[in-house]
């Protein structure tokens, strides 16, 4: 988006007053030369940083768990909470459902799918486990997934193994693949005539590795195998169009990179599959092809759904491509400086398109747990240790509020620790 269009856009939206970068108003000299201007403009991102209330005790490089919500969205959440609380059951019995439907439609447009194939859930766990648990399994059916997949989903596959006699086949995704074809072939090698469902991470949470999901889906469909994509880390992080992926199921958490308040996710189910999935909780009176059949929730904090609306507005003020490029820029800023340092191991692929904001780095003579503790205690840098599935290091996740100065603190800390024996 050109600067003029960007300013016009800011002017039209209700959140504009709270996040408009004041210096963008015609006098800042930002260049429109790059495809996504402002990506390396500290001034622009420092303005965005002001929308966050950050604890000063540490540099937070652990946004992979969830991304804290910027204040303008939190303020809107508080308005929604007050309204729902003021109206009580009148709200619940009148506009609750149409409001959720409106937000679902906006979300569907944002993620590129038909709103009739999308529901808002509590998180990626609910979305993906609903499919794993509700799939019409028969004894001897096979499922494929990876050691690097998220533990809760793998555990749910083990449950259905024990419950229905499903065979679980696990692959190990290399941290540094030679090509997309190598990864596709890895999954393909496990397919048999009994394979029913393949789960694949869009972005592996422990390394930030982005997998060639479209190619995996196309390959699996040739064998009649359905694909469920774990997109917990992609919505609001990279530019995702779910329809383009040609997958059967897609689950994500919106409190991660969309920065919606805690407790919201999404589930996409391709139309052709809706009627075959068993719901987690029974819904009354819905047709078998209606995705709302899978979305019974009971009474729950409905105000959070409303704030998804503002979370999308906020992100669109910045632009998803600009945010993606900024997150990639931040990751490359620190990882490029560390890749060739003796004793440092970066566990994330080097090719730009295979990662974005998340990456993983270790030090050969330090256990990840000790590295994370030392980073916090000595250098006031908050990360998370990963020591599993061929990934030994700390996961580093900056966010759009992260400054270059903060990353310099981290890079210097790592260089210091790499020299210690």
Ligand X SMILES: Cc1ncc(COP(=O)(O)O)c(C=O)c1O
Residues in the site for ligand X, rule: CB under 6 A? 123-125, 150, 201, 205, 230, 232-233, 253
Smallest gap from residue 196 Cβ to ligand X (A): 21
CB 271 within 8 A of CB 251: no
Of 96 and 399, CB closest to ligand X: 399
Nearest-approach distance from CB 62 to ligand X, in angstroms: 11
Q: How far is the CB of 107 from ligand X (least distance, A)?
A: 16
Cα–Cα dist 256/83, whole Å: 25
Nearest approach in angstroms of CB 221 to ligand X is: 23
The CA distance from 227 to 213, in Å, is 9
Closer CB to ligand X, 177 or 231, in the complex: 231
The two three-digit tokens of residue 109, written as one number: 């447009």
Nearer to ligand X, 124 or 317 (CB): 124
Q: Find the shortest distance in angstroms from Cβ 138 to ligand X.
A: 26
In this structure, how many other beta carbons lie within 10 angstroms of the beta carbon of residue 194? 12
* Rounded distance between C-alpha atoms, residue 196 and residue 346, angstroms: 35
Which lies closer to ligand X via its Cβ, residue 124 or residue 346? Answer: 124
**Which residue has tokens 């295979």?**
354
Report the interhelical angle of 180-188 vs 213-222 (nearest 10°). 40
Nearer to ligand X, 104 or 234 (CB): 234
Angle formed at CA 91 by CA 89 and CA 96, multiple of 5 degrees = 115
Task: Give min distance, CB of 121 to ligand X, in A.
Answer: 9
Radius of gyration of the chain (CA): 22
Give the list of residues 6+ apart from residue 210 with CB closer than 8 angstroms, or none: 202, 203, 234, 238, 353, 354, 355, 356
Which one, 38 or 66, has the nearer CB to ligand X? 66
Within a 10 A sphere around the Cβ of 254, how many other Cβ atoms? 32
Least distance between ligand X and beta carbon 358 (Å): 9
Distances (CA, A) of 233 to 61, 228, 238, 315, 324: 15, 14, 9, 15, 12
Closest CA to 3 of 13, 28, 19: 28
- In the complex with ligand X, the residue whose CB is nearer, 188 or 230, is 230
Q: How far is the CB of 205 from ligand X (least distance, A)?
A: 3
Among residues 228 and 413, whose Cβ is nearest to ligand X? 228
């Amino acid at each position: 988006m050109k600067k003029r269009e960007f300013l016009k856009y800011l002017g039209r939206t209700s959140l504009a007053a709270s996040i408009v970068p004041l210096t963008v108003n015609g006098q800042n000299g930002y260049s429109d030369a790059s495809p996504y201007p402002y990506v390396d403009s500290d001034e622009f991102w420092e303005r965005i940083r002001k929308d966050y209330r950050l604890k000063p005790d540490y540099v937070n490089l652990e946004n992979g768990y969830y991304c804290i919500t910027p204040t303008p969205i939190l303020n809107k959440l508080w308005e929604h909470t007050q309204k729902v609380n003021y109206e009580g059951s009148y709200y619940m019995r009148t506009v609750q459902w149409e409001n959720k439907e409106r937000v679902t439609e906006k979300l569907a447009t944002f993620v590129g799918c038909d709103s009739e194939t999308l529901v808002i859930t509590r998180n990626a766990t609910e979305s993906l486990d609903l499919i794993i648990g509700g799939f019409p399994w028969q004894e001897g059916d096979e499922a494929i997934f990876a050691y690097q997949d998220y533990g809760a989903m793998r555990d749910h596959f083990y449950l259905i193994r024990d419950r229905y006699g499903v065979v679980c086949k696990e692959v190990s995704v290399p941290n540094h693949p030679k090509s997309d074809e190598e990864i596709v072939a890895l999954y393909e090698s496990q397919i048999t005539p009994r394979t029913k469902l393949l789960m694949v991470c869009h972005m592996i949470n422990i390394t930030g590795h982005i997998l060639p999901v479209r190619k995996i889906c196309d390959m699996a469909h040739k064998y009649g195998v359905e694909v469920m994509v774990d997109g917990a880390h992609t919505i609001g992080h990279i530019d995702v169009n779910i329809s383009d992926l040609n997958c059967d199921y897609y689950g994500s958490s919106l409190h991660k990179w969309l920065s919606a308040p805690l407790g919201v996710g999404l589930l996409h189910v391709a139309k052709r599959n809706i009627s075959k999935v068993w719901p987690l909780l029974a819904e009354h009176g819905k047709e078998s092809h209606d995705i709302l059949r899978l979305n019974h929730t009971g009474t729950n904090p409905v105000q959070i759904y409303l704030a998804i609306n503002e979370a999308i507005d906020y992100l669109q003020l910045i632009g998803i491509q600009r945010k993606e490029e900024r997150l990639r820029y931040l990751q490359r800023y620190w990882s490029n400086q560390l890749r060739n340092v003796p004793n440092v191991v970066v566990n994330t692929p080097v090719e730009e398109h295979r990662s974005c904001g998340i990456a993983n780095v270790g030090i050969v003579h330090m256990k990840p747990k000790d590295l994370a503790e030392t980073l916090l205690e000595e250098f006031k840098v908050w990360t998370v240790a990963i020591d599993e599935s061929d990934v030994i290091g700390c996961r580093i996740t900056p966010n759009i509020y992260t400054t270059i100065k903060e990353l310099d603190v981290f890079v210097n800390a790592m260089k210091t620790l790499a020299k210690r024996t």
